[in-house]
Amino acid sequence: MSSSASPDTGLNLTVADTQAIDDCWNRIGIHGDKSCPLLAEHIHCRNCAVYSAAATRLLDRYALQQEDRHPGASTQADDEVATRSLLMFRLGEEWLGIATRCLVEVAPLQPIHSLPHQRSRALLGVANVRGALVACLSLVELLGLDSSGGGASGGRIMPRMLIIAAQDGPVVVPVDEVDGIHAIDERTLKAASASGTQASARYTQGVLPFKGRSLRWLDETQLLSAVTRSLS
C-alpha cells in the first residue's frame, strides 16, 4: 500500500547514499552469494562491525545534509481543496493521523538492527528496505506516548512500517496497525485545530472523531523537525 508519492522517489536518497558505501551485505553477505569470509564467524551481517559502521555513516549523512539543505517550495495547494488525505494508524491504544504528503509508503514490518552508541532514545536502529539501510525511529518515544498499553490484537491486525519523507531522506517508523488513507473535510480539520483540544500534546494539531473514537491529528511539520533532530 502506497501513498500518491512514488515509493522509489522517496527512497532514492537513501539508495544513493547506500551505493556510495560498500554494501557488501548485498554482494557477498547474507543478501548476496554468502561468500564473505567473515560470515562464518558472525552468522549474520547485522552482527558484523562493517555493517554497523555503514549504518553509522548513513546516519552521518543525514546530519551532514542538514547543513546543506535547500528550502523548497513544499507548500502545496492542500489548503485550497475541500478535503485533505490523512493516513490513520495505531500506536498502542492511541489512534493517530498524519498527512499523506509526507508519506512515501506503508511497508511490511522489517527486522530492526540496533546500533552501538545510539544518538537518541527515539532512534531504534536501521532497517533494510529493499537493500537500502534506512534509519528507524520510535514514534512512541517522539510523541511521549504510553508504551505499556498493548491496544488491539488479533490475527487480522498486522504491524507495519511507515516510510516517511523526512527533510534529509526517508526514515521508517514501526506502527501497530494501519487503518488506511481517509479524505477528511477541511472544515473538520479547521474545527479540530481551533478547538485547542490536546493543544499541549506533543506535535499535535487537534483531535478528530474517527469511527467512534478520538484520533490525534499530528502536525507533520513539527514532527518532521523532531525526526531531523533525532538523527543529528
186 compared with 4, residue with greater pLDDT: 186
CA distance 137 to 154: 25
pLDDT > 80? residue 103:
yes
Report the pLDDT value the prediction gives residue 155, as an integer from 0 to 100: 59
Domain map (residue ranges) of the chain: 19-67, 82-230
Considering the entire predicted model, what is its pTM? Answer: 0.65
Count how many residues are written for the chain: 232
Q: Are the C-beta atoms of 86 and 97 separated by less than 8 Å?
A: yes
DSSP, res 147:
S
Q: What is the mean pLDDT of residues 77-89?
A: 75
Instruction: Tell me the per-residue pLDDT of 216-230, one tens digit each, with 9 for 90 and over.
Output: 999 999 999 999 888
Q: Are 203 and 219 in contact (CB under 8 A)?
A: yes
145 grid coordinates: 506516548
Tell me if residue 201 falls in helix, strand or coil.
Answer: coil
Q: What is the pLDDT of residues 169-199, one digit of tens each?
A: 899 999 999 999 999 998 888 888 876 656 5
Q: 144 to each of 116, 122, 217, how far by Cα in Å?
A: 23, 10, 15
For domain 82-230, the question of CATH label 3.40.718.10 is answered with no
Average pLDDT on 147-153 reads 63
DSSP 154: -
* Section 163-169 average pLDDT: 88
Please state, for a pLDDT cut of 90, what percent of the chain lies above it: 35
- Is the per-residue pLDDT at 57 higher than 60? yes
